[in-house]
Amino acid sequence: MELQDKTFEDYQKTYQHSVDKPEEFWAGIAENFYWRRKWNNVLSWNFKEPAIKWFEGAKVNITENCLDRHIYNLGDKPAIIWEPNDPNEAYRVLSYKQLLGKVEQFANVLKNNGIHKGDRVCLYLPMVPELAIAVLACARIGAIHSVVFGGFSAQSIADRINDATCKLVITADGGFRGTKTIDLKNIVDDALVQCKSVERVIVLTRTRTPVAMLKGRDVWWEDEIKKVETQGNPAYPAEEMDAEDTLFILYTSGSTGKPKGVVHTTGGYMVYTGYTFSNAFQYQPGEVYFCTADIGWITGHSYIIYGPLSQGATSLMFEGVPSWPDSGRLWDIVAKHRVNIIYTAPTAIRSLMAAGDEYVEGKDLSSITKLGSVGEPLNEEAWHWFDEKIGKGKAPIVDTYWQTETGGFLISPIAGVTPTKPGYALLPLPGVQPILVDEQGAEITGNGVSGNLCIKFPWPGMLRTTWGDHERCRQTYFSTYENLYFTGDGCLRDESGYYRITGRVDDVLNVSGHRIGTAEVENAINMHSDVVESAVVGYPHPVKGQGIYAFVVSGEHHQIDTELARQDINKTVARIIGAIAKPDKIQFVSGLPKTRSGKIMRRILRKIAEGDTSNLGDTSTLLDPEVVNEIKAGALTGEKTS
């Protein structure tokens, strides 16, 4: 079966087939991949436990699909083009043959350092080719990778390492981001004070920042490579994996407690990312594809590494930031490497739009054929700017809606095949069965309606469990509504049946496309010695999508120096979670609006944070209604106050 639908009629036919005969449909799609042994059973599932198995009995290794099988036809074609942070530093190109060589070499390094199939490996690296190499080397030997985004703090790394009991950490001395250098190894050292399971740390040289290298624990990447070279660079045949063996863990925030380790398995994830990449972007051989995400997030896993490489694409990786040396950097990269497809985030589009059109004008963007967006709703203004200034009105925009848990796109236009509509993720991809429900779980049928977005049938890329805590997976995604996967998002289906995601309906924030749980931020704020309690809500932010607004009940320090007290709290949050979770606004209050049973009325705080205090609804059930007036009077307006 073809991976790409070529016309809208094709899409409609494929979609119908995928709903009528899902197993036949997915088996047909899976035929496009290389399996050591085919499956006995395409799918078995129930959403109660949940227990979901795709391609059971099949034997496969995802790196054979991403590398080995391309060598004959595409061996000398670029697999990865790497653009460094500093435009004056030389860029690098790794052909499929070279990438395979490096992955095998590093697989040997992993073996030499005692890593076996099933072991967990934590990766905390900058956006350099070695990150992709290390990810693929783990997959090659069957080790489970857990990539931690470079913006997380030592505490967050320690939590993730301990949750997965990682044996090995792979990091770098430091990483470059714009004018900043981030001391990755030092941060890892702080984390490892709390981590007993880690036996070895492999350190890549990037910034050559001074680092502590502990005898018996820490080794240099380059030295380990030399050892493999003196062994004669032996080939490393891919480990044979069961389709349902775990490929990786990726931690993500929810509405309660600590981040959970979303578990993706091998066969279904491979099929799903490869298929959705090929179809939604209508990838054509030879096209240069540039995803601006960081590999520390799911977008980087699925659509920088696995999806594009399984399709023999050329994937461009960028180490730096869109605003340095100036806000024209992405467009310089497009011109320099003749990029055809650019896949980015609304927050990046909005900030580049705000920087001014002078950074786009005069740039050669003639190579662009398709555009993509992910992470949060792409508002209409940004959609039009992207379309006109970057796509010159001739590049279809795919606004891809999906989640860490879904592995790949759920709802998205197909470039040039389905219509597009600003602000809309449009239509489900083949194999995806969305349904809107009301609070009680009753299906909302028809068009021109809104509800909570659920999926009623499994797709191969979905999460299987949360690491070490299956009950949490059931609770979070499969218990709100019976027999449905609940996304946590609200959604509108317009008169034409097109889907528009309206944002989270739970206590999860989306700040610059980063998912952050309000409870997580509150816990971090409450760690500050002077804080009694706090409540965190989101508010609309012109660039970030959502900003973080914290209401804090604190001791006396803030009365002496409010600004300093805010900075202290921000430092605390940066230590506990990472700089990405720092509140944009901190308002000190004498109490929080609570019901008589002690529940914080977030609805009221959300309204105040949004600057809409005209109608706060019923406040009569509050323990102390007076506190609301005080909070209203002290509300922080404007974009940023801390």
Residues near ligand WTA, by CB under 6 A: 252, 297-299, 374-377, 399-404, 425, 487-489, 501, 504, 510, 515
Rounded distance between C-alpha atoms, residue 503 and residue 515, angstroms: 12
Q: What angle do CA 64, 306, 483 make, to 5 degrees?
A: 110
CB of 4 to ligand WTA, least distance (A): 21
CB of 424 to ligand WTA, least distance (A): 9
Q: What angle do CA 9, 13, 16 make, to 5 degrees?
A: 140
Comparison of 282 and 452: residue with beta carbon closer to ligand WTA: 452
CB of 305 to ligand WTA, least distance (A): 14
CB of 149 to ligand WTA, least distance (A): 10
Listed residue (238, 214, 197) closest to 59, CA to CA: 238
In the numeric block, which tokens belong to residue 34? 């290389």
CB of 532 to ligand WTA, least distance (A): 31
CB of 400 to ligand WTA, least distance (A): 5
Q: What angle do CA 167, 171, 172 make, to 5 degrees?
A: 155
Comparison of 95 and 487: residue with beta carbon closer to ligand WTA: 487
Comparison of 475 and 619: residue with beta carbon closer to ligand WTA: 475
CB of 549 to ligand WTA, least distance (A): 18
Comparison of 113 and 466: residue with beta carbon closer to ligand WTA: 466
- The residue type of 169 is V
Comparison of 176 and 297: residue with beta carbon closer to ligand WTA: 297
Rounded distance between C-alpha atoms, residue 10 and residue 479, angstroms: 35
Q: What share of the chain is helix, strand, coil (3-state, %, to 5)?
A: 35, 25, 40
Rounded distance between C-alpha atoms, residue 344 and residue 551, angstroms: 32
Q: Is the peptide bond before 325 cis (omega within 30 degrees of 0)?
A: yes
Listed residue (140, 422, 431) closest to 305, CA to CA: 140
CB of 267 to ligand WTA, least distance (A): 21
Comparison of 167 and 421: residue with beta carbon closer to ligand WTA: 421
Comparison of 174 and 296: residue with beta carbon closer to ligand WTA: 296
CB of 417 to ligand WTA, least distance (A): 18
CB of 262 to ligand WTA, least distance (A): 8
Comparison of 129 and 300: residue with beta carbon closer to ligand WTA: 300
Comparison of 325 and 490: residue with beta carbon closer to ligand WTA: 490
The alpha helices in 393-476, defined as continuous H runs, are: 470-473
Comparison of 25 and 281: residue with beta carbon closer to ligand WTA: 281
Listed residue (22, 23, 29, 25) closest to 41, CA to CA: 23
Comparison of 174 and 413: residue with beta carbon closer to ligand WTA: 413
CB of 403 to ligand WTA, least distance (A): 4
The alpha helices in 256-371, defined as continuous H runs, are: 266-281, 298-300, 307-310, 329-337, 346-355
Comparison of 312 and 375: residue with beta carbon closer to ligand WTA: 375
Listed residue (285, 311, 279) closest to 10, CA to CA: 279
DSSP assignment of 77-114, as one string?
A: SEEEEEE-SSTTSPPEEEEHHHHHHHHHHHHHHHHHTT
Burial of 589 (0-12, 13-18, 19+ CB in 10 A): buried
Rounded distance between C-alpha atoms, residue 537 and residue 603, angstroms: 9
φ, ψ for residue 159 (rounded to 5)? -60, -45
Rounded distance between C-alpha atoms, residue 490 and residue 454, angstroms: 9
CB of 531 to ligand WTA, least distance (A): 28
Comparison of 312 and 538: residue with beta carbon closer to ligand WTA: 538
Burial of 146 (0-12, 13-18, 19+ CB in 10 A): buried
Residue with token string 């660079």: 233
Rg (CA), the chain: 24
Rounded distance between C-alpha atoms, residue 484 and residue 456, angstroms: 5
Asked if residue 409 lies in contact with residue 276, where contact means CB atoms within 8 angstroms, the answer is yes
Cβ atoms < 10 Å from Cβ of 528:
22
CB of 131 to ligand WTA, least distance (A): 18
Rounded distance between C-alpha atoms, residue 504 and residue 489, angstroms: 4
CB of 382 to ligand WTA, least distance (A): 12
Rounded distance between C-alpha atoms, residue 476 and residue 403, angstroms: 14
CB of 297 to ligand WTA, least distance (A): 6
Comparison of 53 and 260: residue with beta carbon closer to ligand WTA: 260
- 190 in helix, strand or coil? helix
| Sheet containing 260-265, strands listed edge to edge, beginning at the edge strand earlier in sequence | 218-220, 200-204, 168-172, 120-124, 144-147, 246-252, 260-265, 465-466
Comparison of 489 and 520: residue with beta carbon closer to ligand WTA: 489
- The residue type of 552 is V
CB of 177 to ligand WTA, least distance (A): 19
Comparison of 58 and 250: residue with beta carbon closer to ligand WTA: 250
